[in-house]
């Protein structure tokens, strides 16, 4: 049974977007949206959330954006015991290497 059909997932779209950015810092919003299975508008909102929270820095590179993930940033989730973004990303990227984000 697919978690998507249940309406929830263990890994949030924010974490999935962060993983997509970490996997390819030059990725486009269109590609993030397709990879995660969300709309481009939702991807833009999530990237902005991650940027405001300090997890991602976005800079213009010509007509495209380039992203840098602050891997030392502590996760906001209560009870995560000071887990850093890099630790979560290592786990996510390892899993995503074996299967797609969707």
State the DSSP string of 38-93: S-HHHHHHHHHHHHHTTSEEEEEETTEEEEEE-TTPBP-STTSTT-BHHHHHHHHH
Complete domains list, the chain, with CATH: 10-96 (1.10.10.10)
Q: Kindly report, residue by residue over 74-95, the tens digit of the pLDDT.
A: 676 655 566 677 777 777 777 6
pLDDT (0 to 100) of residue 46: 98
Task: Please determine, for residue 2, whether its predicted confidence score (pLDDT) is greater than 90.
Answer: no
């Amino acid at each position: 049974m697919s978690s998507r059909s249940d309406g929830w997932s263990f890994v949030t779209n924010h974490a999935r977007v962060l993983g997509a950015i970490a996997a390819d810092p030059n990725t486009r919003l269109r590609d993030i949206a397709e990879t995660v299975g969300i709309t481009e508008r939702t991807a833009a909102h999530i990237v902005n959330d991650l940027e405001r929270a300090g997890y991602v820095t976005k800079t213009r590179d010509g007509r495209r954006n380039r992203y840098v993930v602050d891997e030392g940033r502590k996760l906001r989730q209560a009870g995560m015991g000071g887990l850093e973004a890099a630790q979560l990303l290592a786990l996510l990227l390892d899993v995503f290497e074996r299967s797609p984000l969707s």
